[in-house]
Amino acid sequence: FSPGDLLKLAIAGCNAMSSDMRLVSRLGDDFAQFVGVSADYDEDADRFTHVEVELVQDLSALDEQEQADLIRRADAAIKRNCTIEHSVVDRALPSHHAFTSERID
């Protein structure tokens, strides 16, 4: 791993861990989740300019309103609890996370 990979993993891991309890409350202790992370890199400045985190879990058992409520609550948990985002992202590195519902086998 490179230091840049470790930074991206820290941001993605913090997003996943910060939202975990909200997701467990609706999807159960053993829900499956895949987390992806990508970043835009400015080679001349040798820095990331944006990080994108995608959290994928199967929300098909929930109706549209339940899905929207769960995503809102999980998003709020990330904003409230993710130390990495508070320390690095909010200060210097724009970031976005998205929740995606897909069947996970």
Beta bridge partners of 97: 53
pLDDT of residue 103: 83
Q: Region 39-60: what's the mean pLDDT?
A: 92
**Secondary structure of residue 51 in the 3-state scheme:** strand
Q: What is the pTM of this model?
A: 0.81
Domain boundaries, the chain: 3-101
| H or E element that contains 91 | helix 90-92
Fold of 3-101: GMP Synthetase; Chain A, domain 3 (3.30.300)
Distance CA 7, CA 25 (A): 28
Amino acid letter, residue 23: L
How far, in Å, CA of 15 to CA of 64, rounded? 23
What is the Cα–Cα distance from 49 to 62, expressed in whole angstroms?
A: 35
